[in-house]
Chain A
Amino acid sequence: MIVCVAVVGHQNNPLYIQSFTDADDALKLHHIVHCSLDVVDERVNNPKKSGPTLNDTFLGLLYPTENYKVYGYLTNTKVKFILVTTDLDVRDADVRNEVPCCIC
């Protein structure tokens, strides 16, 4: 289940953030989204590390937590879409298809 989606501006400022769980987790999700920006920065600054996803706006799995997985999507204008899901065994390809749907 997708528990949080966020749109983050090119200066890493939150533009929109929405969680779909009870309020207790909302702050935690804010932290998760914020921390995932480190991984986005890392991927953007070191594109070689991202391997097969080079030149791809879909950044794939950014960072795992105990209960969530965080996926990222980077637009050409450096706006980031961050998606937090509780499905721990989800496949990258599924998320890849899912993210554009979320954006639309």
Chain B
Amino acid sequence: MEEYPEELRSPPVALVALVGCSEHHGAMTTHLLSHQPPINTLALPDFSKLTHLLQRSSSSPGGFLKRDWLVKHRTKIPAVVAALFSWDHVSGDPAQWVQVCSDLDDIKAAIRPKNTKLLLLVVVGKSEDISEDRLLALRKRAEVDSKYLLLYNPDPSQLDNSLQRLSASFAELGATFYKEEGRRIKARIEKNFSTPDLQVRYCFKVAVYAEFRGDWAEALRFYEDAYYALREMIATLTRLSPIQRLFEIKTVAEHLHFKICTLLLHGGKLNEAVTWFCQHIGSYKSLVGAPEVIFLHWEWLSRQFLVFAELLDSSSTTLPSTSSQPLGTDQLLSEWEFHPAYYYQSAAQYMMEKRSALDLAVSNSETFNENDDGSAESVIPSVYIGQFARLLEQGDDSAIQSITDDEYTRYVIAEGKRFQDNFEIIALLKKCTEMYSNHKVQRMGSLCAFQIAREYFSLGDFSNGKQFFDGVANLYREEGWITLLWEVLGYLRECSRKQGAIKEFVEVSLEMAALPVSMVDGIQSSKCGPGGPASLEQRELIHREIFAFISGEARLEFLNGLDDLKVTGDNTLHLEIDLVSPLRSVLLASVAFHEQIIKSGVSSLITISLLSHLPLPIEIDQLEVQFNQAQCNFIIMNAQKSPLEAVQSEQHDHRMESAPSLTLTTNKWLRLTYDIKSEQSGKLECTSIIAKIGPHFTICCRAESPASMDDLPVWKFENLVETFPTKDPALSFSGQKAAQVEEPEPQVDVTLGASGPALVGERFLVPVTIASRGHAIYAGEMKINLVDVRGGGLFSPRESEPLSLDTHHVELLGIVGAEWEDESRKGSDKIMKIQQSFGLVSVPFLKIGESWSCKLEIMWHRPKPIMLFVSLGYSPISCELNAQKVNVHQTLQIEGKDAVLIDQHFMLPFRKDSLLLSKVKPAPDSSQFSPLPLHESTVLVVSAKNCCEVTLQLLSMAIKVDDGATEKSCSIQHGNEDLGTAVLVPGEEFKKVFNVIPNLDSSKLRLGVVHLKWKRHCGIEDRSGLTVTDSKVVTKHELPDVHVELSPIIVNLECPPYAIVGDSFMYHVKIRNQTELLQEVKFSLADSQTFVLSGSHSDTVFVLPKSEHVLRYKVVPLVSGLQQLPRISLTSVRYSARFQLSVAASNVFVFPSKPHCNTEKRVEEPAAAAD
């Protein structure tokens, strides 16, 4: 589209001229350009210039359209001339008026032949009196209508108005001018005596004038008329030079077509535009013209497609998307015809046609016109569109002379030779590829890429070509389009051949040879690519050629000048075929272990199957089977070929096998079964098979499992007899290329000898014994793991513990008793890593039959069961690091339990009670601690209960404080700390009494920690000594804090330790006031049927400060036995607190008669009393 002149590509803009008063032209020009529609301006400083501009040139028509006609009307011939006069001149002296009239006459004379419209502009000042008479005179002189005489006031306040009026008048007069011009030309058409040439010209002009005034419908109609008139002329080519005439017609038709399509697309008529284009191409496609210049036709067609593609492309943003185009049922347009890429592609296609036609024309012209007389020179485009002429220059004069068809032909061929079309074709196709890829249209994009690649190939740019060919080949491979793939590979093969890339050449050749093309669907065509026709013969030819080359039997004659790239000793060729390689059809290796689990050191069978789709059998010299365990690799030699000495010397450490034949026949599995034995446990996997063919060529093929082997994509749909890679069909479906090698059976016993539960706090020993039965132990390592049975870790950071040891509930402390026989080895090989729940210890070398033992020292901080895992890894053969290891595992669950449960409670002394206010009326903020009376003795009983299944021996119990503060605030008295031989059987409870006297009034008093030292009780038969290392264990129990307060009133009961029926005794109730205040105490005594008493039953007494009041009763018991004395209850009026002594405090035993205190009878007396 860029090659069209600007005046054709853009819609015409009306042109006006300004004459005189040039200082105002700038403002007017700017305003008119911004007007809608815009108006171009010719600014002429004086009136004489206009006369030159409007000179008329006439010549007899020699063609359809003049090349400069459009430019002339857009830039030279104004529709309106505006004559600007200053008011000073108009209203000045007579001389000035005469000058004005003279200028006006000149203008009128100049514009009359062209029928140009006149507009008068009088430039006035700020405050000038306008004389209507002079204006009328001016208007009459100019013969213009009153509305076309305007006053122009350049004053900023009036300027806008003036300019608005000016532009409106220009637009009106311009439209009138173009309308009249159009009508004038139309009249000529209607007279109908014009020649067809003129008919075309007139229609074109009318259309252009319609465009000038924005009448798009009329413009379109007349462009179409011109187009049809031109089309009719083709049948009557009467001129002497038909080649040039046809070219001229096509060029004019191209211009008209461009205008029509632009207008249609501008009007949003996409369907019509595409239909019009189809008709246009349909009309002219067959007009190929003379055979010697047929390339002009192809070039013309290509340009039509290109221009339309660009038009569609540029208008696609403004038009609705093509997908929404309504397609009628009888509509023959498909959605692809709305796609610019389709037209770009066709343009490229015709450009290719043009190139080949031009090549032919050039070769013909060189043959027939060897002595070129240079007549093609000095040919230039003529004044008419589509015509060429010779420019004759003689001195300063020049003349145009028409040329003959022969001269024209030579000229266009010479011109055609100047351009290289390949690059234009590539650019067009690249644009298509880009558009197709944007729309994810993969296959059409590939076709374009293929054509680009072919262009590069023909240019000799093989690296670029190869890049595109590779991409295309991938798609064809993926979808299995064999014939198309064959063609692309043919080009690729040729590219690598030209580039001297031996490896790629061999790869592509092998792939081609292994493609499933046969005679049936083979394409025998003269147009096939450099790969030759896709046929079985061609495959065989390629096969023979390539194998002769790689075996060194033949050299590639076609590697002209590239002999140094032949495959020689220093230049071996190695191909890799992986799981996605297209060369899988050349060589496919399937490997199946007959057993999935192999015992270490025991031989098993492995089947190696090879398949090739090459058209001819191939002979393999040797096969190397590689495993992940390199020591298992082995080599299969072809018995028919003498083994190569070099190979033997290189690979003497591998196992060598021999096969009677290693010939691969087309589509037939070659099955080879051999023994395989591995000494190393773990996975044994066959990784690759390397086939050696000839002295310098190897193919490394990745091994595949028959069970998970993918089909060959290109052979998948072929009619072939399917065979199995192994003889056993089941193995073909389930066989794997990897097998698991088991460890050898361990012949070492690991014994964990712990018995019974572990107790919290003790260092528990677990004896481990390693005894060798049949294996010597080299480089033995024992791993110890402690795992919580209930899940979760043994580590519990959330629980805040005062002791850091307690952060691990169960802890591996160490290993004791591990003795290494050879002390010299101890330093170098001994490993002992102990962490809280993990340990690693090395085991010394043990001969067969020897044993070694150690003890694991484990401590429980919390009662919980754990699982102890012990793994022994050793090598039965040698100490080497990579030696085969054997593992033995042993587990043991051990219960961890608390040994003793310690508890405590407080008691008051016998028959004594204190009024503790916090007990009677607990304050809302008071703590829940037990209250103790200040300075009063309280009994603390600490009990320790054996809650495990083991008999314990208690050694000592004491209350210890961590600082001296408690000693000052409280005194604790107890008997001997050492408990002697207190044995506590399971379930039994031990109690010890402490006397606590608080000395400090405190709301929270720490009493200390009970330290109970104990050990397992060692009976004669008890072997627990084996399981614990230190028998003494201290269990700690923190006593709860207490609340100490002064008791205001203390009550003591005093009575004899026992009574005798009928014998009176004194019963005293002592009420002691410990305060500085007078205490009023009410008391009441409940009657009892078992006693007769004398004394006050109820009363109120006043107890003086720091003094004691005694209530005295004389009591006579009536009934024997354990009896309750009459209970007294007290009420402190001051504290409104009532309290009563406990039932136990008021019990007394009543004997029926006075007891005899003989030591012999002491035991019997209570029994008698009970009676």
Contacts and interface: CB of A to CB of B under 8 A. Distances in A.
A54 interface: no
Interface string A78-93: 0000000000010110
B72 to A, nearest CB: 39
Given A27-B483, A27-B525, A38-B444, A64 B330 contact: no
Contact of A38 (B327, B441, B482, B524): B441
A63 B329 contact: no
A70 to B, nearest CB: 9
B323 A46 contact: yes
B106 interface: no
B558 interface: no
Given A30-B484, A64-B334, A35 B523 contact: no
Nearest to A12: B479
B444 A35 contact: yes
B443 to A, nearest CB: 5
B449 to A, nearest CB: 12
Contacts of A92: 329-330
B528 interface: yes
Most chain B Cβ neighbours within 10 Å, of A11, A12, A31: A31
Contacts of B444: 35, 38
B902 to A, nearest CB: 81
A34 B334 contact: no
Interface residues of B, number: 33
A4 B601 CA distance: 64
Contacts of B442: 38
Contacts of A14: 480-482
Interface string A29-67: 011001101110010001001011000000011111010
Contacts of A49: 323, 335
A23 interface: yes
B525 A30 contact: no
Nearest to B305: A66
A13 B525 contact: no
A94 to B, nearest CB: 12
A99 interface: no
A14 B526 CA distance: 23
Contacts of A27: 483-484, 487, 523, 525, 527-528
Given A9-B717, A52-B329, A23 B523 contact: yes
Contacts of B1079: none
Contacts of B523: 23, 26-27, 30
Interface in B310-360: 323, 326-327, 329-330, 332, 334-337, 346, 349
A17 interface: yes
Interface residues of A, number: 32
Contact of A39 (B326, B329, B336, B526): B336
B521 interface: yes
B337 A64 contact: yes
B71 interface: no
Contacts of B717: 9, 13, 15
Contacts of A17: 483, 521
B447 interface: yes
B483 A91 contact: no
Contact of A63 (B334, B480, B521, B716): B334
A91 B330 contact: yes
Contacts of A13: 479-481, 716-717
Given A24-B525, A61-B332, A64-B334, A31 B479 contact: no
B435 to A, nearest CB: 13
Contacts of B441: 38, 42
Contacts of B480: 11, 13-14
Nearest to A60: B334
Given A27-B523, A27-B525, A34 B484 contact: yes
Contact of A66 (B332, B335, B346): B346
A26 B323 contact: no
A64 B447 CA distance: 15
Contacts of B335: 42, 49
A66 B349 contact: yes
Interface in B476-510: 479-484, 487
B481 A24 contact: no
B272 to A, nearest CB: 17
A91 B329 CA distance: 9
Contacts of A35: 443-444, 447
A38 B443 contact: yes
B479 A11 contact: yes
A24 B527 contact: yes
A34 B443 CA distance: 7
Interface in B770-797: none
A34 B481 contact: yes
Nearest to B336: A63
A30 B481 contact: yes
Interface string B431-446: 0000000000111100
B301 to A, nearest CB: 9
A24 B527 CA distance: 6
Contacts of B349: 66
Nearest to B521: A17
Interface in B413-465: 441-444, 447
Nearest to A23: B525
Contacts of B527: 24, 27
Nearest to A19: B523
Interface in B873-922: none
A31 B529 CA distance: 14
Nearest to B327: A51
A24 B335 CA distance: 29
Contacts of B323: 46, 49
Contacts of A51: 326-327
A10 to B, nearest CB: 11
Contacts of B327: 51
A46 B439 CA distance: 13
A69 B1165 CA distance: 134
A23 B484 contact: no
A49 B336 CA distance: 12
Nearest to A31: B447
Interface string B743-774: 00000000000000000000000000000000
A35 B248 CA distance: 37
Contacts of B525: 23-24, 26-27
A64 B278 CA distance: 11
Contacts of A60: 334
Contacts of B487: 27
A67 B525 CA distance: 20
Contact of B443 (A26, A37, A52, A61): A37
Nearest to B483: A30
Interface string B986-1030: 000000000000000000000000000000000000000000000
Contacts of A91: 330
Contacts of A24: 525-527
A62 B528 contact: no
Contact of B447 (A11, A34, A39): A34
A13 B718 CA distance: 11
A16 B1111 CA distance: 129
A17 B479 CA distance: 14
28 contacts: A9-B717, A12-B479, A13-B479, A13-B480, A13-B481, A14-B480, A17-B521, A23-B523, A24-B525, A24-B527, A26-B525, A27-B483, A27-B484, A27-B528, A30-B481, A30-B483, A30-B523, A35-B447, A39-B334, A49-B335, A51-B327, A61-B334, A64-B336, A64-B337, A66-B346, A89-B332, A91-B330, A92-B329
**9 pairs of A and B residues whose beta carbons are closest in the complex:** A13-B480, A23-B525, A38-B443, A38-B441, A63-B336, A26-B523, A35-B444, A12-B479, A61-B334
Given A24-B527, A34-B443, 9 more contacts: A11-B479, A12-B479, A13-B481, A27-B525, A27-B527, A39-B336, A49-B335, A61-B334, A64-B334
Interface of A: 9, 11-15, 17, 23-24, 26-27, 30-31, 34-35, 37-39, 42, 46, 49, 51-52, 60-64, 66, 89, 91-92
